[in-house]
Amino acid sequence: KDVQKEREPHVYLSKEEVKEKIQSYNSSVTDKLKMTLNANGIYTGFIKVQMELCRPITVQSSQSQGRCAPSSQETAFYLPDGCVNTLHISSTNTVREVIEALLKKFFVADNPAKFALYKRCHKEDQVYTCKLSDREHPLYLRLVAGPKTEMLSFVLREHETGEVMWEAFSIPELQNFLRILDKEESDQLQILKNRYAAYRGKLEEALRGVLKPG
């Protein structure tokens, strides 16, 4: 079970320290996703983000991209749990920019304010999760932790229920959510009816056996 951990303070590294860490990082990389240090001191690299979304997301079709008004080409569905996406970012990119880039990459029309990025650390047989602030820099965290996801991984989640900004949802999105909930309710009700129908059939069969003459 995840436990909450206080956010660690950001330690500013000198250009030489960054260079040394990137060299050490690249020497440990096993998936060819290395970091590159530019002459201006900004470095680029890759992070992997695991999607752990409980609520449905709204996805735009290629025809409706770029439109401001809600489109009939938007579809709401549940994203499979645990899928991982890779992003190429720079050391200047913030958590908020990473969330926006991730949603844009997959044509997600939902407001980025609905989501939060978490870091997950494994230490001493425990798993620590910490919600990152919008101004933190994920690539810096990746560099400091090293390339092993066992040491640090990133997770995209919705804000907790009490934190949901319902005003950030559009009317079509809310209507889609209601349709999905109605379908789930109908499916669960049918499963329950089938279960009790099976029980009833077994009871009636047992009664016929008991009441049979002879």
Q: At what angle do helices 138-145 and 15-28 cross, to 10 degrees?
A: 60
Q: Give residue-wise pLDDT tens across range 9-35.
A: 556 788 899 999 999 999 999 888 999
E-only strand ranges, 73-168: 75-77, 84-90, 115-123, 126-131, 153-158
What's the pLDDT at 107? 83
- What residue type is assigned to position 164 of the chain? V
pTM to 2 decimal places: 0.66
Q: Whole-angstrom Cα distance, residue 65 to residue 77?
A: 17
Q: Give residue-wise pLDDT tens across range 124-148.
A: 778 888 889 888 999 999 999 999 9
Query: Which pairing describes strands 84-90 and 75-77: parallel, antiparallel, or unpaired?
Result: unpaired
115-148 b/e (C-beta count within 10 Å ≥ 16 → b): bbbbbbbeeeeeeeebbbeeebbbbbbbbebebe
Q: Give residue-wise pLDDT tens across range 59-112.
A: 876 544 444 444 456 777 777 777 889 999 999 999 999 999 998 887 888 888
